[in-house]
């Protein structure tokens, strides 16, 4: 009966597959009723428990601990700003000898186990010494595991590891932590453990590369490697289905190549019908969103939509693909081939036809494929590819995917442990010191490496703290491709399929590598002026004596072609007085370099604090902020597309020899919302301390995220202190939070730069801080746009100038006179689009101000 209902159109399917599907169907429907038979358990290790930010209750761990050895409960010294919740991360249970937790479980049930690790500084323990193994129910989950190294390689502050354990006969689950004996002072630790009973979602699996061979994995153990909501948003644990509290990530970072298809979403009236599938398999949001190849069928025939994942070698993986056809209502309309690691998983003569599989629109299903990944260069990857089937002659040449999960299958030794990832050489080179935040200075305070070293040092800190909102790759992270820009282009193309020259023809100059070598004295280290997302930055002189800054991609990293393309493509189209201009590029001899105008006076930050440079006057600071606001405003509105900078901070505001502020570093920039969407969804990027909390929560990027960061910049200019200073009392650590608090309290003046005492006009300060506070509004929608910000800052400057004039204490130290500034704006070339209109608007405003404040005229 099922077969009739399920497979009205499935003539093309092999009998074996039909049978297999119905087996899966039975096992799933059976387990629906078993679901939620026992409550999920969440244990906060080393603490007395409590509620996390989601309101979930975490129990103390003492009663589960069955050990004779010594254990210690400790509180982390430092709360990383990316920790969104104190429980369970801020407390840890530390084991110096083997120790076991014993959890009551129901026999014959499958369990999901999650471990939470926050490798921070704990009093009297050096986290670098922590190597340990974890076993559960006779299975090795981790071995010689270093949470610190793993987090460092992933550039994230904390780590979640998830396993599904096969049903057992036991009424207890023993989880044993064993510190490594190979290291002195080694210890094990854990911050939180979750235990959730789940329906057994595993069964028969097609083995890729072996025709007609199936594998029954229903009684195996797995580690979750990846879980992605393809073409959709991040789904937090609270929105998962079946009470399994899983996180589903966006798949953008895993798309390989430039052809990345298009996002698509089910029409509102399409109902997702779970009748063939357990609700636990995936939440509705996964099935309502998908990625397609595109609208141009001829183009679709020419490429594979490709995802790439790094995994541990010598394991078999189960690749689960979730499908739900919500657009077409007949079989043989959308039929496509699926390849995994270049082998056919589901391709002609048995291609994927979702409608034929499910027999209806809005009916979700999934398929499991087993693939073994062996050791060998470049082999530690899983590559999923899709292209339209041609043999079946479908109506539309397109493919569709809604979700991906990748599970690692335990090997024959009951082992799931891989080796620790290796932080990329770039990361090691740039930060041969450990992240400062982990290094105790005194018992309870930490230093973030100050911006003393200028761009380089500041960037290192920022990069190490670089957003790692959640674990992106839970398991295997392969050394040679781990990336300096961890959340974005970790799988940048290795070949030189890119052709940047086509992007920039006629827009920028192409340099040969010998010209670049000459300019930078063969990349002499003494010429290094910074380290950026793309690689090292060198000072250089090209012929004619023009000083330039050369960004060189790290040749050993094989990284960055994507970033390179982004920067070249983006920058060459952008010309603006307040943006750092690209002079040219070099793609030659295996090198990729970008050549920029040299900014003689360095970063805005180095003129604000932690440096011996003379203090900037208030008016100078205002003018720099105004310049930067102009640059950002142009990015948001002036170019053809909205461009969101994504990493606005004082080290990305550079100053030329005339003190003109220029916004730099578009390595992270993405083209902003199209006409309809209003936001782009993406993995969170940016720098701690500047990061828009809304972006953080929802992973939706709008230009208002830049406005938030700019608000932080404004306070940094006023207060001349780092945006994050963990050595201060808790409420003062984050400048944004502290400034808002002081603003509420009316004590902002107390925290502003002492060098500005008595020099700021009250009305000007009021205007300035009001603007900054509005920029920091929690909701993007409440924040002003950059045009408004610019207007208000101009206003504040007028207030300051008129007060200076009236008070007789005219500041003559203005680096670049505003008049000349305005003039050169007007002279700017016509490609500046709306920026010019804006300036005209502002000039009119200036006239009004002039009449108000300078009755004698200017
Ligand atoms: C922690 O141990 C590492 C390596 O054993 C060492 O380099 C580092 O200095 C130690 N840190 C502290 C604070 O003792
Ligand atoms: C768990 O450990 C206890 C002792 O702590 C032992 O009695 C029990 O047999 C173990 N259970 C399993 C399934 O290993
Ligand atoms: C989670 O679900 C709630 C209620 O359905 C919804 O309002 C919220 O937007 C969802 N959150 C995310 C991040 O999808
Ligand atoms: C994988 O197995 C091969 C052969 O047994 C071994 O030489 C290699 O070191 C293993 N690789 C890893 C990463 O364990
Ligand atoms: C699959 O093919 C691509 C491109 O031809 C190649 O780079 C890659 O190494 C192949 N992967 C495997 C697992 O054979
Ligand atoms: C897609 O990938 C598969 C497997 O790597 C390959 O055989 C096929 O030729 C590719 N198709 C296109 C259009 O590139
Ligand atoms: C343990 O891990 C560290 C760091 O990845 C590695 O250097 C070391 O060789 C490993 N030790 C063993 C015994 O595998
Ligand atoms: C830090 O340790 C010193 C002595 O080593 C002690 O006097 C001081 O009170 C401690 N500070 C804190 C915040 O615990
Ligand atoms: C890049 O392409 C050129 C020719 O187009 C070729 O000579 C060169 O070997 C390629 N480099 C790499 C790293 O593939
Ligand atoms: C790159 O673009 C240039 C100019 O359009 C073209 O001449 C060249 O053949 C292209 N190279 C490749 C490898 O596509
Ligand atoms: C707010 O002001 C009151 C009185 O002026 C002061 O006692 C308190 O410490 C202030 N709080 C903050 C957070 O500045």
* Residue 643: closest CA among 683, 676, 670: 670
Count of domains for the chain:
3
| 551/627: higher pLDDT | 627
pLDDT at 852 over 80: no
| Protein residue whose Cα sits closest to atom 11 of ligand 10 | 499
Q: For all residues of the chain together, what is the average pLDDT? A: 75
pLDDT at 340 over 90: yes
Low-confidence winner among 159-173, 250-264, 301-315 (lowest mean pLDDT): 250-264
Q: Are residues 228 and 340 in the same domain?
A: yes
488 in any annotated domain: no
State the average pLDDT over residues 448-471.
24
What is the maximum alpha-carbon separation in the chain? Answer: 94
Q: Are residues 236 and 358 in the same domain?
A: yes
Q: Side-chain half-sphere of 399: how many Cα atoms within 13 Å?
A: 29
501 lines ligand 10 (CB under 6 A): yes
Distance 418 CA to ligand 2 centre (A): 25
| Protein residue whose Cα sits closest to atom 6 of ligand 11 | 745
Distance 556 CA to ligand 6 centre (A): 29
User: pLDDT class for 769, splitting at 50, 70, 90?
Assistant: very high
791 vs 775: CA distance, rounded Å: 13
Q: What is the pLDDT of residues 566-589, one digit of tens each?
A: 666 666 667 788 888 777 888 777
- Ligand whose nearest atom lies closest to the CA of 300: 6
507 vs 571: CA distance, rounded Å: 10
Which of 210-224, 337-351, 721-735, 798-812 has the highest mean predicted lDDT (pLDDT)?
Answer: 337-351
676 lines ligand 10 (CB under 6 A): no
Q: What is the pLDDT of residues 270-324, one digit of tens each?
A: 999 998 888 999 999 999 999 999 888 888 888 899 998 888 888 999 999 999 9
Q: Are residues 569 and 658 in the same domain?
A: no
Is the separation of the CB atoms in 107 and 191 below 8 Å? no
Distance 374 CA to ligand 4 centre (A): 8
Distance 766 CA to ligand 11 centre (A): 19
272 vs 326: CA distance, rounded Å: 9
| 185/572: higher pLDDT | 185
304 lines ligand 6 (CB under 6 A): yes
Q: What is the pLDDT of residues 126-135, one digit of tens each?
A: 999 999 999 9
Kindly list the distances between the CA atom of residue 130 and the CA atoms of 66, 158, 341, 459, 803, in Å, as whole numbers in the listed order. Answer: 21, 15, 36, 27, 60
Distance 502 CA to ligand 10 centre (A): 6
Kindly list the distances between the CA atom of residue 276 and the CA atoms of 328, 493, 591, 766, in Å, as whole numbers in the listed order. Answer: 19, 39, 53, 62
Percentage above 70 pLDDT, the chain: 72
- Domain extent, residue 550, equals 500-597
Low-confidence winner among 54-58, 810-814, 839-843 (lowest mean pLDDT): 839-843
Distance 176 CA to ligand 2 centre (A): 10
User: pLDDT class for 560, splitting at 50, 70, 90?
Assistant: low
Q: Are residues 507 and 650 in the same domain?
A: no
220 in any annotated domain: yes
- Residue position matching structure tokens 């159109």: 9
| 342/581: higher pLDDT | 342
Q: Are residues 513 and 650 in the same domain?
A: no
List the CATH number of the domain containing 809.
Answer: 1.10.510.10
Domain finish residue from 374, 409, 444: 409
State the average pLDDT over residues 397-401.
94
Q: Are residues 530 and 659 in the same domain?
A: no
- Residue position matching structure tokens 């781990």: 482
183 lines ligand 1 (CB under 6 A): no
Is the separation of the CB atoms in 465 and 687 below 8 Å? yes
691 in any annotated domain: yes
659 vs 626: CA distance, rounded Å: 12
Q: What is the pLDDT of residues 703-714, one digit of tens each?
A: 888 999 999 999
pLDDT at 694 over 60: yes
Domain finish residue from 394, 409, 424: 409
Q: Are residues 525 and 618 in the same domain?
A: no
List the CATH number of the domain containing 527.
Answer: 3.30.200.20
Distance 442 CA to ligand 8 centre (A): 8
pLDDT of residue 68: 74
pLDDT of residue 686: 58
313 lines ligand 4 (CB under 6 A): yes
474 in any annotated domain: no
Distance 730 CA to ligand 8 centre (A): 17
- Ligand whose nearest atom lies closest to the CA of 136: 2
| Protein residue whose Cα sits closest to atom 4 of ligand 6 | 342
pLDDT of residue 419: 86
Q: Are residues 568 and 613 in the same domain?
A: no
- Ligand whose nearest atom lies closest to the CA of 305: 6
pLDDT at 518 over 50: yes
Test site for ligand 7: of 145, 312, 419, most ligand atoms within 8 A of the Cβ: 419
| Protein residue whose Cα sits closest to atom 4 of ligand 7 | 420
pLDDT of residue 266: 92
857 in any annotated domain: no
DSSP at 26: H
Instruction: Give the CA-trace dihedral at 519, 523, 526, 531, to 10 degrees.
Output: 110
Q: How many CB atoms lie within 10 A of CB 750?
A: 10
pLDDT of residue 284: 95
State the average pLDDT over residues 56-75.
88
pLDDT of residue 779: 87
Which atom belonging to ligand 10 lies closest to the Cα atom of 501?
Answer: 2
| Protein residue whose Cα sits closest to atom 14 of ligand 1 | 126
Tokens read off for 545: 């004596």
| Protein residue whose Cα sits closest to atom 7 of ligand 10 | 502
* Residue 661: closest CA among 633, 689, 691: 633
Q: Are residues 560 and 611 in the same domain?
A: no
420 lines ligand 7 (CB under 6 A): yes
Percentage above 90 pLDDT, the chain: 34
pLDDT of residue 554: 66
Among 77, 368, 398, 647, the one annotated catalytic: 647
181 lines ligand 10 (CB under 6 A): no
Low-confidence winner among 1-15, 63-77, 134-148, 701-715 (lowest mean pLDDT): 1-15
Test site for ligand 3: of 54, 229, 235, 239, most ligand atoms within 8 A of the Cβ: 239
Per the confidence metrics, is the pTM higher than 0.85?
no
Order the strands of the 91-95 sheet from edge to edge: 71-75, 91-95, 188-190
pLDDT at 668 over 50: no
Q: Are residues 367 and 226 in the same domain?
A: yes
| Protein residue whose Cα sits closest to atom 6 of ligand 6 | 342
- Residue position matching structure tokens 């960037």: 459
Residue 551 annotated as part of some ligand binding site = yes
Low-confidence winner among 204-218, 251-265, 734-748, 826-840 (lowest mean pLDDT): 826-840
Which atom belonging to ligand 11 lies closest to the Cα atom of 731?
Answer: 13
| Protein residue whose Cα sits closest to atom 6 of ligand 8 | 443
Q: Are residues 588 and 616 in the same domain?
A: no
276 vs 5: CA distance, rounded Å: 10
- Ligand whose nearest atom lies closest to the CA of 131: 7
List the CATH number of the domain containing 222.
Answer: 2.60.120.430
146 vs 128: CA distance, rounded Å: 8
Kindly list the distances between the CA atom of residue 176 and the CA atoms of 108, 122, 855, in Å, as whole numbers in the listed order. Answer: 21, 21, 80
pLDDT at 257 over 70: no
556 in any annotated domain: yes
| Protein residue whose Cα sits closest to atom 3 of ligand 3 | 239
* Residue 9: closest CA among 329, 340, 428, 272: 329
State the average pLDDT over residues 655-672.
72
690 vs 710: CA distance, rounded Å: 8
Q: Which residues line ligand 2 (CB under 6 A)?
A: 66, 100, 102, 170, 172, 174
pLDDT of residue 219: 87
Low-confidence winner among 580-594, 681-695, 798-812 (lowest mean pLDDT): 681-695
Task: Determine whether 647 is an active site residue.
Answer: yes
213 in any annotated domain: yes
303 lines ligand 6 (CB under 6 A): yes
pLDDT of residue 136: 95
Q: Are residues 636 and 766 in the same domain?
A: yes
Beta bridge partners of 344: 339
91 in any annotated domain: no
Low-confidence winner among 81-90, 174-183, 274-283 (lowest mean pLDDT): 81-90
280 lines ligand 6 (CB under 6 A): no
pLDDT of residue 473: 27
* Four-residue CA torsion sign, 117, 121, 123, 124: positive
Domain finish residue from 569, 597, 625: 597
Distance 187 CA to ligand 7 centre (A): 15
| 447/136: higher pLDDT | 136
């Amino acid at each position: 009966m099922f077969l009739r209902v399920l497979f009205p159109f499935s003539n093309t399917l092999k009998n074996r597959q039909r049978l297999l599907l119905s087996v899966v169907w039975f096992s799933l429907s059976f387990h629906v009723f078993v679901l939620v038979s026992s409550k999920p358990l969440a244990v906060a290790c080393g603490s007395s428990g409590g509620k996390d930010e989601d309101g979930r209750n975490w129990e103390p761990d003492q009663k589960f601990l069955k050990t004779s050895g010594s254990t210690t409960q400790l509180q982390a010294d430092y709360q990383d700003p990316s920790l969104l919740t104190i429980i369970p991360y801020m407390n840890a249970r530390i084991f110096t000898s083997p120790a076991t937790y014993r959890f009551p479980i129901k026999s014959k049930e499958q369990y999901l186990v999650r471990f939470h690790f926050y490798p921070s500084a704990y009093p009297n323990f050096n986290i670098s010494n922590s190597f340990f193994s974890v076993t559960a129910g006779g299975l090795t989950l981790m071995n010689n595991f270093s949470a610190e190294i793993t987090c460092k390689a992933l550039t994230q502050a904390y780590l979640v590891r998830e396993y599904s354990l096969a049903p057992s006969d036991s009424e207890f689950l023993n989880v044993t932590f064993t510190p490594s004996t190979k290291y002195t002072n080694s210890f094990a630790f854990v911050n939180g453990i979750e235990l959730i009973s789940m329906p057994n979602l595993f069964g028969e699996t097609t083995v890729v590369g072996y025709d007609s061979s199936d594998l029954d994995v229903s009684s195996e153990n797995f580690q979750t490697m990846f879980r992605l909501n393809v073409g959709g948003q991040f789904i937090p644990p609270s929105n998962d289905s079946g009470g399994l509290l899983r996180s589903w990530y966006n798949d953008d970072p895993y798309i390989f190549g430039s052809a990345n298809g298009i996002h698509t979403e089910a029409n509102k009236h399409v109902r997702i019908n779970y009748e063939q599938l357990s609700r636990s398999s995936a939440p509705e949001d996964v099935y309502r969103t998908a990625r397609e190849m595109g609208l141009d069928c001829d183009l679709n025939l020419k490429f594979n939509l490709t995802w790439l994942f790094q995994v541990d070698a010598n394991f078999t993986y189960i690749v689960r693909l979730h499908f739900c056809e919500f657009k077409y209502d007949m079989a043989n309309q959308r039929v496509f081939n699926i390849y995994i690691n270049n082998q056919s998983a589901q391709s002609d003569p048995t291609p994927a036809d979702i409608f034929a599989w499910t027999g209806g629109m809005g009916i979700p299903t999934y398929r499991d494929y087993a693939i073994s990944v062996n050791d060998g260069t470049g082999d530690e990857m899983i590559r999923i590819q899709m292209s339209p089937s041609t043999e079946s002659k479908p109506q539309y040449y397109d493919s569709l995917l809604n979700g991906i999960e990748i599970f690692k299958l335990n090997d024959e030794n009951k082992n799931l442990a891989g080796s620790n990832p290796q932080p990329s050489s770039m990361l090691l080179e740039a930060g041969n010191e450990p992240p400062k935040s982990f290094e105790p200075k005194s018992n309870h305070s930490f230093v973030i490496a100050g911006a003393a070293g200028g761009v380089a040092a500041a960037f290192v800190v920022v990069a190490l703290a670089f957003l790692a909102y959640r674990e992106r790759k839970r398991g295997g992270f392969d050394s040679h491709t781990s990336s300096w820009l961890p959340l974005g282009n970790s799988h940048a193309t290795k070949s030189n399929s890119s052709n940047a020259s086509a992007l920039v023809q006629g827009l920028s100059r192409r340099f040969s590598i010998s010209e670049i070598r000459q300019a930078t004295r063969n990349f002499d280290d003494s010429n290094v002026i910074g380290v950026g997302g793309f690689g090292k930055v060198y000072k250089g002189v090209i012929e004619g004596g023009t000083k330039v800054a050369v960004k060189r991609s790290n040749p050993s990293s094989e990284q960055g072609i994507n970033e390179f393309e982004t920067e070249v493509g983006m920058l060459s189209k952008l010309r603006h007085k307040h943006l750092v201009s690209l002079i040219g590029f070099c793609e030659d001899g295996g090198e990729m370099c970008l050549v920029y105008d040299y900014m003689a006076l360095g970063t805005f930050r180095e003129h604000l604090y932690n440096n011996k440079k003379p203090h900037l006057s208030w008016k100078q600071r205002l003018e720099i902020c105004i310049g930067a606001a102009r640059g950002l405003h142009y990015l948001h509105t002036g170019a053809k597309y909205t461009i969101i900078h994504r990493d606005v901070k004082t080290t990305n505001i550079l100053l030329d020899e005339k003190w003109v502020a220029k916004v730099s570093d578009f390595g992270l920039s993405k083209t902003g919302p199209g006409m309809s969407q209003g936001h782009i969804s993406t993995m969170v990027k940016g720098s701690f301390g500047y990061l828009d909390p809304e972006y953080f929560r929802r992973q939706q990027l709008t230009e208002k995220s830049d406005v938030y960061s700019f608000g932080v910049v404004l306070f940094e200019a006023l207060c001349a202190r780092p945006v994050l200073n963990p050595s201060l009392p808790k409420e003062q650590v984050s400048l944004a939070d502290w400034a808002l608090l002081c603003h509420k309290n009316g004590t902002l003046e107390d925290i502003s730069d002492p060098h500005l005492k008595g020099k700021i006009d009250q009305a000007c300060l009021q205007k300035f801080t009001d603007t900054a506070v509005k920029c920091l509004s929690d909701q993007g929608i409440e924040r002003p746009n950059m045009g408004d910000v610019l207007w208000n800052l101009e206003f504040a400057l007028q207030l300051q100038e008129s007060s200076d004039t009236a008070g007789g204490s005219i500041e003559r130290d203005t680096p670049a006179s505003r008049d000349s500034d305005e003039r050169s704006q007007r002279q700017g070339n016509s490609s500046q689009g709306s920026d010019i209109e804006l300036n005209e608007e502002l000039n009119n405003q200036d006239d009004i101000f002039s009449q108000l404040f300078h009755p004698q005229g200017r």
